[in-house]
Structure 1
Amino acid sequence: MKPEEFNYRDLQDHIEVMIGKFGLQNSVKFLGSIIDHTDIASSEDERVKQLIKLTISKSIEVFNLKKATFYKSNLSEYKDARMACYYIINKYTQISLGKIAEVFNVKRRSVEYFEQKCKEMLSIPSFYPTYLQRHRAIEDHIIKYISTLN
């Protein structure tokens, strides 16, 4: 599959959507934080822990799940929520898949599998519209949180 090619018009359109969604001030802060810090370093343990907790709690909220069964349930909604967590945590931190597996008390291979599955699902948004909408809601919240960090 050929990778998607973007041009300056696409960039401008996305910036306008970002400003419309987050406001000018937050958009500028976010872009500045991307330039300065592309992710949260694992040496910043407290920030990483906060981001993980926030990602999990937002996933539970967005997927409308019960917190008590979040880590163990085999229902597809719970698996999808955990999959979104694996992907987002991996994308915005420098912690390894093995450490993510420890947080969720699963095998590293499970995290690796679901992280890859998430990438595939996100690459075909028309096949998974509900998942994509939920994933975006979680990721937008995390991006907003990261943009507020110093």
Structure 2
Amino acid sequence: MNPFLKSAVAGLVATLPMSVWMLGAQHWLLPRRERYPLPPEQITEHAAEAVGLEGVAENDTALKAATVVNHFAYGAAVGALYAPLKDLPGPPLLKGVGLGIFVWTGSYLGLLPATGLLSSATHHPARRNMLMIVAHFIWGGVTGVLAERSTSRR
């Protein structure tokens, strides 16, 4: 399989444990005042409004469905970035966590604020930022391990 496609599939699959962590941590670790919608939902809502899809942004069921699709699609797209890392020395888990840190930093401190889809992480509560950083560690680590997992059978 093409290494970029394999890495994209790994990123797609890795979005599941990342999402489970995010939802569980939101419910169990954040104080009530910080349990408002997580970034993937906020981003999807802002993107829908930006392109004139108010019906999606204002309908809770449609917004949740679009959020899931968008989050997994983004996980796959940025998962493809792992492909060039495969040739670097080091364990896949650590290379993946490095990618996760890169994706969180680039997204939450750069891309998302620049596009107006989400305010900079510097404007969010520390606990929510930690929740999202750990989520990206999980995503990156799983992406790395899956992307380098051998597909051959012995």
Q: Please give the TM-score of this superposition, normalised by the length of structure 2.
A: 0.36
More contact order relative to length (CA 8 Å, sep ≥ 6)? 2
Quick check: which one's helix share is greater?
A: 2
Q: Please give the TM-score of this superposition, normalised by the length of structure 1.
A: 0.37
